[in-house]
Amino acid sequence: MTEPSWLADSQPDNAELPLWTRAVIGDMLPDAVTPMTWSLVWESAAAHGWRDCLIERFGFDEDEISGSHPESVASFGGFAYLNASVLRVWADRTPSLATDHIDPVLTAGPKPPPTHRSPSWNAPDSVTVGMLRQWYDWVLRSRNQRELARAATDVDEILGRPLEFAAMTDVELIAAAQELQPLCRRLFSQYLNQTLAALIGPRLVNEACVDVGQPAHTLRLLSGLGHVDPVSPTLVLWELSRLVRGSSTLQQFFAGRPDELDTVLRGSDAPDAVAFTAGLDALIDEVGFRGPNEWDLSSPTWDEVPAIVVAMIGCMSRCDDSYAPSRRRRHLEADRYRLTVEIAAALPPDARAMFVDAVESAVTYIRGRETCRTALMRLLHRIRVIIREIATRAVRRGDLVGPGDIWMIRIEELADHAGGSLGELRQLAERRRREFDDVQRSEPAPMLWRGADDPDGGAPDGWDPDEGEVDSPRPDLLLMEPGDLMLGSPGSPGMAKGRARVIESMADLADFEPGEVLVLARPVLATTPIFVAAGAVITDTADTFAHAVVVARELGTPMVVGAVGATDRIKTGVTLNVDGLTGVVSVMAEPVDASFDGAAPDDR
């Protein structure tokens, strides 16, 4: 490629930590990462923030993780990968954990990772052992989240300072964006901390459920957690949808073109239209950072494309009040409490306290992970808004063809040319855009082995992540017919029957009817509000740890994740039976009325 600083792999191979995976990180950055995002956020703040966490919280030695190219997250061929080897070392060292416990989270693609081979320096010293024991005890028994709360408060303070664009030069805008990197780094450290903490409680809860012969109760005990940050926008959208449902004026507006609705409503002085737009504006002011790819600065967001939000409200407005998320959530919370008491009573007396601690730990750190994510997204959006302003100015001056070209430039390149020579980057941005579009159409390998200098000659056990892959045509991608089954992974408990609706773009929501089964390529938080209206959700990708899956459990919507080929094999209109507890999806022979047996069957 023309610019090795972007597409060429900048992460040196490391025979001690050679395994990289798209698991987890593929949920965060599903597409190729733009050069601006990688250089401004991930290469600087994320990679080093996660290194900070490994050293400061988990006792890794400074020499175990590179200071210049941390073995935490890296870009290969334009796509982000997570270092699985270092997290296996973490699991191997942590009390009551082993690599077998974390491998299911780290596995991407159909082939399991190779047998873990400890690096030569794996034996931890007494300091490391002590730090991990202290951390593990904190996860199980402490509900202290003051450090996370302070970081979120720091974000609030920064966002409370207005950006005076009119008085700022491009150079000053770039400096303002870069000044946010230290807090980003701190939040990324906290995010890894919360994420790994959120693995502990659910594992112990599942072990207890298995011990009493009720493994299916695990997901129900991880539902109805109370306040979970990404659920809040859904509750506001639901109230706005009630305003639409009760207003003939608004219903008339919503009968028009959804892509023009926001503009039409803002031109009306009807009281209901004024109230609706005021509520919509308040929501976007609070969570305008929501978008289909929030971890990349180039992502379109709700504040930029409010028609996306309006379309989801229109979809929700077709639901009657039996779909109210508050009713489902009350049932979920009561169900979790009842099951906690039931399972604790069935356990031996010496195991009950550990089980209750595990349930409370799961609640604390699943919620903490979502709170940290929201704080990060708000801070990244501040950076996004600043870079958008620079792009707008550059296009106005003729330095760039379109505002989207700014994302093809690395932050140091932008800084070097911001003093008046930004136009020199125009051809570079256009060339990278063409390269980026080519990369975007490619499919990244699910896992990589990057140990070229490995003295043992490569991956153990002859492991090859591409082995067994089938070239097209693929017979398993034929359309499903009545009687066919598809197996994914359990995401959110409950069963539902309903008509399938394959969603390929937001425009497809115009035809979505309440109770239908949503079939998505991948779940993103920006579209989770429509889960309220769905009988169930099926996705091609993701796992039970994905943020959108947490939301589905909080809304009581049955969900099956990782059903590979679902969007290709399921046709809109067929009747599906979805079991969120087993991950089984089946096509029924004859259409039936939509039914639901999930969060609140008595209310539906």
Q: Is residue 152 part of a domain?
A: yes
Are 62 and 208 within one domain? yes
Are 384 and 488 within one domain? no
Which stretch of DSSP H or E encloses residue 497?
strand 495-502
Are 445 and 559 within one domain? no
φ, ψ of residue 337 to 5 degrees: the values are -65, -45
The span from the CA of 126 to the CA of 129, in Å, is 5
Are 26 and 152 within one domain? yes
Tokens of 184: 């980003």
Angle between helices 181-211 and 126-141 (to 10 degrees): 70
Query: CB-based contacts of 450: which residues, under 8 Å, 6+ apart?
Result: 11, 13, 14, 18, 19, 20, 76
pLDDT of residue 591: 65
Q: Is residue 324 part of a domain?
A: no
pLDDT of residue 421: 85
Are 433 and 484 within one domain? no
β-bridge mates for residue 537, sequence order: 518, 559
Q: What is the CATH number of the domain that holds 489?
A: 3.50.30.10
The span from the CA of 480 to the CA of 574, in Å, is 9
Closest CA to 185 of 174, 193, 175: 193
What single DSSP character describes residue 46?
Answer: I
Cβ distance 158 to 183 under 8 Å? yes
Q: Is residue 33 part of a domain?
A: yes
Closest CA to 242 of 159, 333, 326: 326
Q: Is residue 390 part of a domain?
A: yes
Q: Is residue 572 part of a domain?
A: yes
Q: Is residue 401 part of a domain?
A: yes
> DSSP E strands: which ranges in 361-483?
447-449
The span from the CA of 82 to the CA of 74, in Å, is 7
The span from the CA of 33 to the CA of 24, in Å, is 15
Are 70 and 205 within one domain? yes
Are 140 and 33 within one domain? yes
Q: Is residue 117 part of a domain?
A: yes
Q: Measuring CA to CA, how many Å separate 590 from each of 110, 567, 572?
A: 32, 21, 14
The span from the CA of 432 to the CA of 104, in Å, is 36
pLDDT of residue 263: 77
Are 94 and 206 within one domain? yes
> Side chain identity at 15, as an amino acid letter?
A
Parent domain of 515: 475-603
Q: Which regions of the chain are under pLDDT 70?
A: 1-9, 257-259, 452-462, 465-477, 591-604
> Side chain identity at 380, as an amino acid letter?
L
Cβ distance 22 to 446 under 8 Å? yes
Query: CB-based contacts of 50: which residues, under 8 Å, 6+ apart?
Result: 70, 72, 73, 188, 189, 192
The span from the CA of 146 to the CA of 42, in Å, is 25
Residue range 134-145, pLDDT digits in tens:
999 999 999 999
> Side chain identity at 211, as an amino acid letter?
D
Are 554 and 441 within one domain? no
Tokens of 408: 């093809």
- CB count within 10 Å of CB 451 equals 21
Residue range 274-321, pLDDT digits in tens:
999 999 999 999 999 999 899 999 999 999 988 889 889 999 999 999
Cβ distance 531 to 539 under 8 Å? no
Cβ distance 328 to 556 under 8 Å? yes
The span from the CA of 264 to the CA of 297, in Å, is 29
Are 577 and 489 within one domain? yes
Three-state DSSP state, 133? helix
User: Following CA atoms 518, 524, 530, 531 in sequence, which dihedral angle do they give, to the nearest 10 degrees?
Assistant: 60
Cβ distance 354 to 139 under 8 Å? no
Are 157 and 39 within one domain? yes
DSSP 423-435: GGGHHHHHHHHHH
The span from the CA of 365 to the CA of 11, in Å, is 31
Cβ distance 492 to 553 under 8 Å? yes
The span from the CA of 521 to the CA of 543, in Å, is 13
The span from the CA of 191 to the CA of 50, in Å, is 8
Domain total in the chain: 2
Residue range 446-504, pLDDT digits in tens:
999 987 555 444 666 667 765 544 343 444 568 999 999 999 999 999 999 999 999 98
Query: CB-based contacts of 110: which residues, under 8 Å, 6+ apart?
Result: 446, 468, 469
Tokens of 253: 């507006």
The span from the CA of 441 to the CA of 443, in Å, is 7
Are 78 and 122 within one domain? yes
What single DSSP character describes residue 39?
Answer: I
Q: Measuring CA to CA, how many Å separate 302 from each of 170, 312, 384, 532?
A: 25, 11, 13, 19
pLDDT of residue 358: 97
- Residue 197 CA neighbour count, 13 Å, CB half: 35
Q: pTM of the predicted model, to two decimals?
A: 0.93
pLDDT of residue 506: 75
Q: Is residue 331 part of a domain?
A: no
Per residue, the 3-state secondary structure of 63-91, as one string, reads: CCCCCCCCCCEEEECCEEEEEHHHHHHHH
Domain boundary among 449, 465, 495: 449
Q: Measuring CA to CA, how many Å separate 211 from each of 64, 104, 145, 345?
A: 38, 20, 31, 12
> Side chain identity at 280, as an amino acid letter?
L
Three-state DSSP state, 217? helix
The span from the CA of 415 to the CA of 408, in Å, is 14
